[in-house]
Amino acid sequence: MNRFWIAAIAAAGVLAGFQAMAQDEAPPPGMSQETTTTTWTVNPAERTVIHDYVVKEKVRPAPVHEDVMVGAPVPGDIELQPVPEEIYASVPEARRYEMFDWDGRVVFVDPGTRKIVQIVD
């Protein structure tokens, strides 16, 4: 009976290892490992808080000449700003990112990868 349990535990360990390897190596369909990024959903009330801040504080737009889209890296010459307390007090998820204004839209960027995670109109 002990041999059965030892064999079962060993088999479970091997299967768990294969599953972990498969998860590490297989990004979602249509995306390469390099383009996989984190995003979050911003609800309408949070969008209003973000938009009102940009309008009230007259945030200066960044000079971006390329297309901006979620998952794309931000050019190195674009200066990222920390998310102000007025935003992350109501939108806590935004605190972990940095941002810039792109023609009236707020672009949230992962500071570690400089990839865009959310664009708020």
How many domains, in total, are found in the chain?
2
Range of the structural domain that residue 50 is part of: 37-120
Max CA distance (Å), the chain: 73
14 burial type by CB count under 10 A (0-12 exposed, 13-18 middle, 19+ buried): exposed
* CB-CB contact of 100 with 81 (8 Å): yes
Mean pLDDT of 33-42: 58
For 6-10, 40-44, 70-74, which range has the lowest pLDDT when averaged over its residues? Answer: 6-10
pLDDT at 38: 59
Residue 18 predicted with pLDDT over 90: no
Tens of pLDDT, residue by residue over 43-102, are 899 989 998 888 888 888 888 888 789 999 998 889 999 999 999 899 999 999 999 988
- Are 31 and 41 in a shared domain? no
- Are 78 and 88 in a shared domain? yes
